Structure 1
């Protein structure tokens, strides 16, 4: 009997300490966790998951851009030249569609720009919105779409686009300055952008 009492005494006297010691969670030290540190993130798995996520985030935009593909890059540059050097917007639209990457934000934006320059504002809007769906922070699309808004007489919407540009790249970037300059012109002024 005495032996039984002696053998059960450590279990009765020390279970809280044993449970705390086994609870682990690493890093201990009174962070105010009412549940003890057993709800902390285990040290070995957290950095591995974080690194995996970071690597994934870095790779995704790179793959999504398409510019690592020489054929895409060359085709995009040719379409870009067709737009900005030759002002042949209809041909550029065909060149951009031929790339097979209509949902790539740079491509969709240039298609929208080309339609705007051709005076097809409905199609232009579709493509600007498609570019922003692909990349909500595509600053050049916010700029071009803001100019579209001004041309449509939607100065309040253009002001919203200007605000979005400021949030993305600040007030010193070219996209902000050109849209701000366009907004300063009197309504009905022909824009050259």
Structure 2
């Protein structure tokens, strides 16, 4: 009986040590870029849409992290409340007031131009202003930061349609399908735009 108690104490000590280890506390080794898309740890992922945007910052379900091109300290600073407030203000400037020039200034002042969500919104704002060259620069900057940033593929696909590049827009649609499938909002939005007759004015 005494030896049984010793075994129980030893087992309890081992379990306590395991639970307090950094690897276990951090949630193990999950994540990674297999099949990649929006970062599941990014509170701003999926925060906007070219349709009717939601004024919140939901996480995109069922996605894995892709951190390519991001600087080591970027993620912690992105979670800073000051950044979140500034991002939200720029988001509202775009979708509530349609003041794209002011939104560009707000987004650039955040100091995270290489974050794909920020770069994508800057590109969107330039597109809405009719500055397609600057819009292209920022969409490509977003994709350089995260090649699997599905929202940029959607927005850039709409850019391609507006420029008359239907084949390129179809390529973007294929990229979206490879990232999030054909049921995600980004795929459905771009597919609907592609179904419209050539020359139809887009409201996105």
The one of 82, 92, 100 aligned to 2:111: 100
Q: Show the 5 A alignment for 1:7-18.
A: none
SS of 1:146's equivalent? helix
* Matches of 1:149 and 1:56, distance apart in 2: 32
Tell me if 1:177 matches 2:188. Answer: yes
Provide the C-alpha distance between the structure 1 equivalents of 2:66 and 2:170, rounded to a whole number of angstroms: 31
Aligned residues: 143
Runs of 5+ in structure 2 lacking a partner? 1-22, 33-40, 42-64
TM-score (ref. length: structure 2): 0.65
Task: Specify which of 87, 97, 119 is matched with residue 130 of structure 2.
Answer: 119
Find the counterpart in structure 2 of residue 88 from structure 1: 99
Once the two structures are superposed, what CA deviation does each residue of 1:97-139 show, in whole Å capped at 9, x if it has no partner? 0001100000000000000000000000000000000000100
Q: 1: CA distance between counterparts of 2:80 and 2:149?
A: 21
C-alpha deviation, 1:68, in angstroms: 1.2
**Higher-Rg member (1/2):** 1
Aligned to 2:168: 157
- 2:66, 2:146 within 8 Å by CA — same for their partners in 1? no
Give 1:7-86 correspondences, 5 Å limit. Answer: 54=29, 61=67, 64-65=74-75, 66-86=77-97
2:197 equivalent to 1:192: no
Scaled by the length of structure 1, the TM-score of the pair is: 0.69
Query: How far is the alpha carbon of 1:56 from its aligned partner?
Result: 9.2
Give yes or no for the alignment of 1:143 onto 2:143: no
CA pair 181-100 structure 1, distance change in 2 beyond 3 A? same
Structure whose residues are more often helix by fraction:
1
What value does the CA root-mean-square deviation take over the aligned residues? Answer: 2.5
Gaps of 5+ in 1: 1-47
Runs of 4+ in structure 1 displaced over 3 angstroms? Answer: 53-67
In structure 2, C-alpha distance between the alignment counterparts of 1:164 and 1:130, rounded to whole Å: 17
Rounded Cα–Cα distance in structure 1 between residues aligned with 2:30 and 2:175: 28
